[in-house]
Amino acid sequence: MTDRRILLVEDEPGLVMTLGDRLRSEGYEVESAADGPSGLDQASNTAFDLIILDIMLPRKNGLDVCRDLRQRGIATPILMLTARGQTVDKVVGLKIGADDYLTKPFEMMELLARVEVLLRRAPPAAATAGDVYQFGPIRVDLRRTEVQRHGKPVALSAKEFQLLRYLLEHRGTTVSRETLLSEVWGYGGVTSSRTVDVHVAWLRQKLEEDPHQPQWILTVHGLGYKLSG
């Protein structure tokens, strides 16, 4: 039996049920999302070993979801499901970061074979020691995108987590607001640094014992921010 985790992003309830049941019978853990934004959120905030992603989704299509995941640095293998004849979508999907595609309707055995091939290439999503950071009562698991304070889960937005991750990876180094805007938000040119200040304040509210006298996320006046500890 395997403990590999698969996210199925598909809006057809019948296919979700059939495919989910078959994958579970093969020993996989399966979660599902019924539209693009939900799939993007789950894939961004939870560690999966594989994403099965339909192109035709409500609210946000699979190509946009795939592109956004890759832009966020999420390297989880993606198997895209396309309708018959969507050759252009297949090409675009592979160019923007999909690892493989399968045309509907498909044979279950073919899908299972492709899943096995993609999972053989990918390391398990379980965290390694280098993915886990501890400072004071705060524990951050980067691979699983989990944060705990005094052993209790802390809910962070995707952008708050990305900011915390960047500060962790540059721990002890003063990072300017401009660098954070560029590296975390992807902003170039002249943009208000107030965006950074607001997100730092939110992080302090959730992580510091006293947000007004922070112990971990420090302001270096005139220069930027630094994660201590």
CB 44 within 8 A of CB 72: yes
pLDDT tens per residue, range 117-167: 988 876 665 544 467 888 888 988 887 788 888 888 888 888 898 899 999
Q: Which pTM does this prediction carry?
A: 0.56
Partnered with residue 102 across adjacent β-strands are: 81
Looking at the chain, the whole-number percentage of residues with pLDDT higher than 70 is 90
Nearest-angstrom CA–CA distance, 75 and 23: 21
pLDDT score of 203 more than 90:
yes
Least confident of 58-72, 80-94, 107-121: 80-94
- Higher pLDDT: 225 or 136? It is 225
User: pLDDT class for 4, splitting at 50, 70, 90?
Assistant: confident
Omega into 105 within 30° of 0, i.e. cis? yes
Structural contact between residues 196 and 171, judged by C-beta atoms closer than 8 angstroms? no
CA 140 to chain centroid, in Å, comes to 15
Mean pLDDT of the chain: 87
Of 193, 137, 196, which Cα lies nearest the Cα of 166?
A: 196
Report the pLDDT averaged over residues 94-108: 89
The mean pLDDT value for 41-45 works out to: 85
DSSP 123: P
